[in-house]
Amino acid sequence: MAVNAVPLVGVLALDWSLVALLAVYWVELGACLVGAAVKALFAEGRPTYDANGFSWLVFGALSEKRGRVGLPVLPLSIQVANLPAILMALAIGSVGWALFGAIGVGGVGETTGATLTDAESLSVGLGVLAVVVGRAVDVGRYLLGGTYASVPPQQPLQSALVSMAGTGSALLIGGGFVIAGAPPPFVLAFVLAVKLLADIVDVYRDRLEAYDERTSVDLGFAPDTPEWERIESSRDGAEVVRPKPSAVVVGGVVRGLRSPLALLLVTGLTLVGLLSTATTDGVAVELLGGAVIVAGVFTALGVFDRSFRYLAMEYRVCDGASGDGRLVGYDRLFGPQWRLAPESRTELKRVRSATDRLFGSETLRLERDDRVYRLPHLPPDAVEAGGRSAVAGGPASA
b/e 48-73 (16+ beta carbons within 10 angstroms → b): ebebeebeebbbbbbbbbbebeeeee
Q: How far apart are CA 126 and CA 20, in angstroms?
A: 12
In-domain check, residue 226: no
Q: Are residues 41 and 118 in the same domain?
A: yes
Q: How far apart are CA 85 and CA 82, in angstroms?
A: 6
Q: pLDDT (tens digit, 9 = 90+) per residue, 101-120? A: 887 777 666 666 666 667 66
In-domain check, residue 292: yes
Last residue of a domain, one of 154, 180, 214: 214
Q: Are residues 199 and 246 in the same domain?
A: no
pLDDT on residue 14: 66
Q: Are residues 188 and 321 in the same domain?
A: no
pLDDT on residue 223: 55
Give the strand pairing for 349-352 and 395-397. parallel
In-domain check, residue 233: no
In-domain check, residue 229: no
pLDDT on residue 363: 92
Q: Are residues 30 and 116 in the same domain?
A: yes
pLDDT on residue 207: 66
Q: How far apart are CA 349 and CA 334, in angstroms?
A: 26
What single DSSP character describes residue 309? I
In-domain check, residue 220: no
pLDDT on residue 210: 63
CB 316 within 8 A of CB 324: no
Q: Are residues 259 and 206 in the same domain?
A: no
Give per-10-residue mean pLDDT for the chain (398 aa).
66 69 82 91 81 63 86 86 89 86 73 66 78 87 86 84 78 74 74 76 67 56 64 77 94 90 89 83 79 92 92 84 74 90 83 91 86 88 52 40
Q: Are residues 135 and 42 in the same domain?
A: yes
Beta bridge partners of 397: 352
Last residue of a domain, one of 197, 214, 231: 214
In-domain check, residue 258: yes
Q: Are residues 209 and 67 in the same domain?
A: yes
Q: Are residues 333 and 258 in the same domain?
A: yes
CB 44 within 8 A of CB 225: no
Q: How far apart are CA 182 and CA 176, in angstroms?
A: 9
In-domain check, residue 232: no
Q: Are residues 276 and 200 in the same domain?
A: no
This prediction has a pTM of 0.75
Q: Are residues 77 and 14 in the same domain?
A: yes
Q: Are residues 167 and 315 in the same domain?
A: no
Q: Are residues 204 and 80 in the same domain?
A: yes
In-domain check, residue 159: yes
Q: pLDDT (tens digit, 9 = 90+) per residue, 58-74? A: 777 888 888 888 888 88
Domain count, the chain: 2
Structural domain for 84, as ranges: 2-214
pLDDT on residue 390: 42
CB 95 within 8 A of CB 166: no
Residue 224 falls in which region: left (phi positive, over 0), alpha (psi -120 to 50) or beta: beta
What single DSSP character describes residue 215? S
Last residue of a domain, one of 214, 248, 267: 214
